[in-house]
Each structure stands twice: as C-alpha cells, then as structure tokens.
Amino acid sequence: MEFLQAVEDVVKEFNNLEKRTVRIVGHLDADGISSTSILISALKRENIKFNVSIIKQIDQNILDELKKEDYPIIFFVDLGSGNLSMIEKALTGKHVFILDHHKPEDVKTNLIHLNPHLYEMDGDIELSGAGVVYLFARKLNEKNKDLSYLAVIGAIGDMQESKGFIGLNNEILKDAIQSRKIEIKDGLRMFGMQTRPLHKVLEYSTDPYVPGVTGNEKGAIRFLGEIGIELKENGKFKKLIHLNQDDTKKLITGIILRRLGSEDKPEDVLGPIYLLTNEEEENPTKDAREFATLLNACGRLNKPSLGIGTCLGNVNIKNKAINLLIDYKKEIINSLNWFYSHRNTSDIVERKGYIIINAEDNIRDTLIGTLASMISKSNLYANGTIILALAHTLEEDTKVSVRICGNSSVDTRNILNDILKVTGGIGGGHKGAAGCLILQEKEEEFIKTAEKVLGKVAIEEEIK
Ligand code: C5P
Ligand code: C5P
Ligand code: ZN
C-alpha cells in the first residue's frame, strides 16, 4: 500500500540522520497525548534523547521559539498539516517531520510530511494522529507493536470508532489484540461502565440517548426500579460491570424498549467494548474510552505531562491523573450549568439551524470544544443544527469551536473558512468538528459574519 511505503521512506530519512536530541511538539488532546507517548517510547527504545512540548495549536510565537532552539530534528505529531507553509517558512534548515491526520493545507512543501489524506484515505476516520505515529514507530522497530494500544486510544479519543474501526485503524487494532494489550467484549456501550454508579451512567448517557432517562437522575433511578434492578448491593451503588447476566439482559431489553421509535436502530446500544488487559477493573484506565477521556482531562486542564506519564505506565503519575479527572468533571458540569443558565441572555444566540455561544471568560478555552461537543450530542437541538462556541484564551485571543448536531453533510471547516475570510484567524479540523483562533477585537465581527454565513447554510439545508 502506498501509504505504508511512504511510512517506510520517512523512517529511512529519519534513520539517515545523525541521532541528536529530538524535539517533539504534540497536540493537547487525547490523540495528541497518545501520539506523543508513542513517539517518546519508540525513541527511548532506540536510546535517542528527546524534549517535549504539548500545545493547543501552532502559532507564530511557538514557531519563533522552535527556530531559536538548537534542535536540528523536530517532530510535529497530531498537528502541523494545516500549517505547512508557516512551518516551512519558520523552520528552514531544520529536519521537520510532520506526522498528522488533519486535512493538509493545499501547498507544495519540502517538509517530511506523513498524512493519510495525501493517499486518498479519510484521516477523519481511517487513521488518527497516534495511528500515523504508531505506523512510523512500528517500521522503526518491530518491537513497537506493543505500543499499538495507544494508537487505539488515540483513535477513540478523536471519535474515529463507531461500532468498530475501518481502514488502517482496524489493522492497528489487530496489532493491539495480537500483542495482548487490548481485548474486545461485546456488550452495552455506555460511558463510565468501570467507574460510575449505574444510575449515573444512564443519566449521562447521550450516546445512546435513552428517553426519560438521559439527563434525568430521578428518571434513571425510576427506570432501574421499573425493570427490576437494585440500585445498590451491600450498601454500595452498583456499577454496570457488576451486573450479572440476568440483570444485564433486563437492562438491555429495558433500554431497547425505551428507544423504540427513535431514529436509530434500538439495538445500536450494543457493540464492541475495548478493554486494556493490563489495567485493573473499575479504574478509569480499564476501558479505552475512559482512558481517552482521562488523557483529554490532563491536556485540557494544562497537565499534559500527567497524561503522558499515564501512557508510559508510571503508577504515581497515573494516580495523579485520576485525581485530576475529578476536577475535570467538576469544571465540565460548571460549564454546562453556565450554558443552561444563560440560554435566555445575549450570551447565547439560538436560531433555527444554528446557535452561537459567547462564553468570554466564563469557560476555559480548552474546554469550550468539549462543551460544544456535549451540546451537539444532547438532543437539545434538531439534527443538523450548527454550534459555534467562543471563549477567551489566557493570551487574550478568542478560541472558537464548531460542531454539528447529529448526522449532516455540512462540513464545519467550510463554514469556519467562510467566516475567517472576513475576520482573519487560523483554524482547521475535521468535517464534524473544527476550531480556530481569532483576535479578541474581531469577536463582534466574527459573530455578525457567522450569523450571515450560518443563516445561509440553514436556508440551503432546508431547501435540500
Ligand atoms: O485536533 P483533533 O483532531 O485531535 O481534535 C479532535 C477533537 O475533535 C476531539 O476532541 C473531538 O471532540 C472532536 N471531534 C468530533 N467529531 C469528529 C472528529 C473530532 O467531535 N468527527
Ligand atoms: O478545539 P476543538 O476541539 O474545537 O477543535 C476541533 C478541531 O479543530 C480539532 O481537530 C482541532 O485540531 C482543530 N483546530 C485547528 N486550529 C485551531 C483550533 C482547532 O485546526 N486553532
Ligand atoms: Zn487527532
């Protein structure tokens, strides 16, 4: 396959270089942290030294810093493809490797650039950043197959899994199973199976959405009563993993019945669950989906090193990361509460087809995308509704996240680009999730332009 040939060529180029300390720059989310951890482990194995930074996005300041530093080899992982010309201009004379899966900027460069989009693969679903880095690592040394599970976590973190994987992601999953790091069980796919009380899992379940239960704690408790499942066992709340076969059946049937008449197939609640064989039950690191969330929490709360330490298997650091998860959940609940309590104020514009949330300093810029994602999955708004959310950064810029509710053919990147043509700013992302950074003084103009662009999209979608 052409892409794997390209991987081989890139590994050769790397091997031809004199092995000095390697500079790694990785993206801040779960996929970026997985990518970085895979690269670190692979370099350690070759006794190559490294120096790591985790960043939110590439900007001129960061590139200026890298230029000043004395590292001849720089790896960008899970970012970079959207900023090729900027990078090339800033870092001429250095050996720059970009291992990414974001849609590349459409320019010719001399950078060493590995990206599935360049080989007619869909980098949004077939391969994650961690997947690209893993394939590089596997070619560097066959032993790195034992890192494949991190690439599975990265792909799950980037929402590339839906009832299984496709493309190279699926090959990587096979490596993870073969190396006995991941096992697959079929069952109810609900977030928090290992860690949360059952009624909480049901209350927070947006995917699958359970009518009368999702978003309703009392409803969730009532539902369990109706289907005859005890809330507690020996005075402690039961978790989903504690249910016996009989209760599991009752729960599945109960959920399917509740979901009859919903748009998707009721049995969609069942599917593969990815478990890490070496992790302990009831830990947030047991289920690959929860692991990805843990990494996200570390990145988003500005402690990416805790995420990296967790991936590298450091038990002390892992415990710190698990503590951080509690803060993360609190902050997410606070941001949801802010959203609900400001729906009728000028901070939130709700129109047919789109909503604009202007959180300013009320929500951390690194969490605004998570909030937008949660709202988009919440059934609050009709299918196809576009969500635009803005928040201030500590550097006094404005971060914007774009998401879309349900299934839609609309590409959020195009929407964002149309707005950015007017206001300026750098951005990128995927079809279903995009983001950008703009100057704070452009905020008002951005919102005005967005209303025009989004209003037009809403009308076009209605006509279709
Ligand atoms: O920069 P990167 O691609 O790694 O960011 C991925 C983020 O975008 C994830 O945190 C996820 O929340 C979001 N995403 C999404 N739907 C997709 C792809 C990504 O919500 N289809
Ligand atoms: O930050 P958020 O989760 O909203 O990002 C969604 C997608 O947009 C991610 O894939 C991210 O990498 C991309 N993005 C970008 N440039 C930015 C902000 C986000 O390419 N300045
Ligand atoms: Zn990614």
Q: Which atom of ligand 1 is nearest to the CA of 430?
A: 18
Q: Work out which ligand 2 atom sits closest to the CA atom of 78.
A: 12
Q: Any residues with CB less than 8 A from the CB of 120 and at least 6 apart, and which?
A: none
8 Å CB contact between 376 and 396? no
Average pLDDT over residues 127-133: 98
Give tens-digit pLDDT for 354-402: 999 999 999 999 999 999 998 998 778 999 999 999 999 988 899 999 9
The residue nearest atom 3 of ligand 2, judged by CA position, is: 369
In the predicted model, is pLDDT for residue 206 greater than 80?
no
Range in 110-119, 191-200, 454-463 the model is least confident about: 454-463
The strand pair at 426-429 and 433-439 is best described as antiparallel
Count Cβ atoms below 10 Å from residue 143 Cβ, excluding itself: 13
Q: Range with the lowest mean pLDDT among 44-48, 145-149, 255-259, 344-348?
A: 255-259
- Taking CA atoms only, the protein residue closest to ligand 2 atom 17 is 436
For CATH 3.90.1640.30, the residue range(s) in the chain are 2-182
Percent above pLDDT 70 for the chain: 98
Cβ count near 59 (within 10 Å): 15
Distance 293 CA to ligand 3 centre (A): 14
Atom of ligand 1 nearest to the CA of 31: 4
Cβ–ligand 1 contact at 433 (below 6 Å): yes
- DSSP 8-state secondary structure symbol assigned to residue 385: -
Share of the chain above pLDDT 90, in %: 82
Whether the CB of 78 sits within 6 Å of ligand 1: yes
Phi, psi of 357 (to 5 degrees): -110, 120
Q: What are the start and end residues of each CATH 3.10.310.40 domain in the chain?
A: 348-463
Which of 63, 371, 436 to mutate for ligand 2's pocket (most ligand atoms within 8 Å of CB)?
436
**Domain 348-463: top CATH class:** alpha beta
Q: What is the pLDDT of residues 222-263, one digit of tens each?
A: 999 999 999 999 999 999 999 999 999 999 999 988 888 666
Respond yes or no on whether the N-terminal peptide bond of residue 208 is cis (omega within 30° of 0): yes
Assign 48 a pLDDT band (cuts: 50, 70, 90): very high
Is residue 207 over pLDDT 80? no
Q: Look up the CATH architecture of domain 2-182.
A: Alpha-Beta Complex (3.90)
Q: How far is CA 274 from the centre of its chain?
A: 16
Going by CA atoms, what residue is nearest to atom 14 of ligand 2?
Answer: 435
